[in-house]
């Protein structure tokens, strides 16, 4: 099944059509700027413009930077607070006149990597950790997503994990690789103590320089680098849409 995957970010909204049986992106990616302010109406109109670009009327999956419970955002990062409490999945479905599946953006990336990327054919517990402006997370157990984990907010002493070891913190504080890797080790050790993952997948901007610090990490779990880069959210959102259609 093909589905349109949409990844909503703080600066851009990106989409492409994906063959969800292979994970292959079968169109060029199309990107528009995220409206300011990123209200529900403005974002839906932007997504509709992407839908129109592809002349798409089939299922659509959308990754939103928010905790999503039963189609309702509970938080809002880089989008308007008016999203909180809104039945956004229904609003998107009405505005786009098609079936829409809404999920957390990090969860979408995790789905893509587990199904077709660095975690393919892996059973057990897989934890994806994205190292960027913050720390995102996706937890999958025997192929099933545990949504909205938000492990970037785990307390590390006086700090949240993402305020201690995100890639943006490394850059902002000009931390060298050994110092930053030491912080990242502390975060990953905390995750391991709670979850005992079989595999940790590192994504986000911080994973692009993995060769600079991989020898400094001391996890019990195997570590792999995410394969899909900034396409993971699009691919995972499309996968979620196809799953929703097949389940219903």
In eight-state DSSP terms, residue 93 is: H
- Please check whether residues 102 and 146 belong to one and the same domain: no
Q: Do 234 and 222 fall into the same domain?
A: no
Task: Tell whether 16 is covered by a domain.
Answer: yes
Nearest partner of 122 among 133, 109, 130, 113, judged by Cα: 113
Q: Mean pLDDT throughout 22-35? A: 97
Is residue 113 a part of any domain in this protein? Answer: no
Same domain? For 186 and 236 the reply is: no
User: Mind listing the pLDDT tens digit for each residue in 33-79?
Assistant: 999 999 999 999 999 999 999 999 999 999 999 999 999 999 998 89
- What CATH number corresponds to the domain at position 132? 3.30.420.40
Same structural domain, 72 and 127: no
Residues 85-129 pLDDT 10s:
999 999 999 999 999 999 999 999 999 999 999 999 889 999 999
Confidence at 246, pLDDT banded by 50, 70, 90: confident
Q: In the prediction, which pLDDT does 131 show?
A: 94
pLDDT, residue 61, reads 98
Q: Is residue 102 part of a domain?
A: yes
Beta bridge partners of 60: 4, 100
Q: Which tokens sit at 233?
A: 């959210």
- For residues 94 and 58, membership in a common domain is answered with yes
Instruction: Kindly state whether residue 216 falls inside one of the protein's structural domains.
Output: yes
DSSP-assigned states of every residue in the chain: -EEEEEEE-SSEEEEEEEETTTTEE-S--EEEEPPSS--HHHHHHHHHHHHHHTT--S-EEEEESS-EETTEE---SSS-GGGTT--HHHHHHHHHTS-EEEEEHHHHHHHHHHHHSTTTT--SEEEEEEESSSEEEEEEETTEEE----GGG-EETTEEHHHHH-HHHHHHTT--HHHHHHHHHHHHHHHHHHH--SEEEEESGGGGGHHHHGGG---SSEEEE-SSGGGHHHHHHHHHHHHHHHH-
CA angle 10–80–237, rounded 5-degree value: 55
- Residue 112 included in any domain: no
Q: Model's pTM, two decimal places?
A: 0.91
In a domain? residue 56: yes
196 and 242 part of one domain: no
Residues 198, 234: one domain?
A: no
Summarize pLDDT for 140-162 with one digit per residue, the tens: 999 999 999 999 999 999 999 99
Check whether residue 236 and residue 220 sit in a common domain: no
Give the other-Cβ count within 10 Å of 195's Cβ. Answer: 19
The b/e string for 13-49 (b: 16+ C-beta within 10 A; e otherwise) is bbbbbbebeebebeeeebbeebbeebebeebbebbee
Q: Domain residues for 85?
A: 2-107+230-247
Residue 60 falls inside a structural domain: yes
H runs (alpha helix) in 78-204: 88-96, 105-116, 161-165, 167-172, 177-195
Query: How confident is the model at residue 162, as a pLDDT?
Result: 95
Tell me: do 221 and 138 sit in the same domain: yes
Mean pLDDT on 16-24: 97
Per the structure, how many domains does the chain have? 2
> How does pLDDT run across 185-239, given as a tens digit for each residue?
999 999 999 999 999 999 988 999 999 999 999 999 999 999 998 899 999 999 9
- Cα–Cα distance between 108 and 233 in angstroms, integer? 5
52 in any annotated domain:
yes
- 154/178 same-domain check: yes
Quote the pLDDT of residue 19.
Answer: 98
Based on the fold, state whether residues 23 and 56 are members of the same structural domain.
yes
Question: Is pLDDT above 80 for 248?
Answer: no
Residues 42, 8 share a domain: yes
């Amino acid at each position: 099944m093909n589905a349109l995957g949409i990844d909503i970010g703080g600066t851009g909204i990106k989409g492409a059509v994906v063959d969800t049986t292979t994970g292959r992106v079968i169109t060029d990616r199309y990107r528009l700027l995220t409206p300011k302010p990123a209200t529900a109406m403005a974002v839906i109109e932007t997504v509709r413009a992407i839908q129109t670009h592809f002349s798409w009327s089939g299922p659509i999956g959308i990754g939103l930077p928010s905790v999503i419970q039963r189609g309702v955002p509970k938080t809002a990062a880089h989008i308007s607070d008016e999203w909180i409490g809104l039945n956004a999945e229904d609003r998107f479905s009405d505005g786009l006149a098609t079936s829409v599946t809404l999920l957390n953006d990090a969860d979408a990336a995790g789905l893509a990597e587990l199904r077709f990327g660095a975690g393919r054919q892996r059973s057990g517990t897989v934890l994806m950790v994205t190292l960027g402006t913050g720390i995102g997370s996706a937890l999958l157990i025997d192929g099933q997503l545990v949504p909205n984990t938000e492990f970037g907010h785990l307390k590390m002493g006086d700090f949240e994990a993402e305020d201690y070891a995100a890639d943006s913190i490394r850059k902002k504080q000009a931390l060298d690789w050994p110092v930053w890797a030491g912080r990242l080790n502390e975060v990953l050790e905390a995750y391991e103590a709670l979850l005992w993952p079989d595999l940790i997948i590192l994504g986000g901007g911080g994973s692009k320089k993995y060769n600079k610090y991989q020898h400094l990490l001391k996890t019990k779990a195997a570590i792999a680098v995410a394969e899909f880069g900034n396409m993971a959210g699009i691919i995972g959102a499309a996968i979620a849409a196809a799953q929703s259609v097949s389940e219903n």
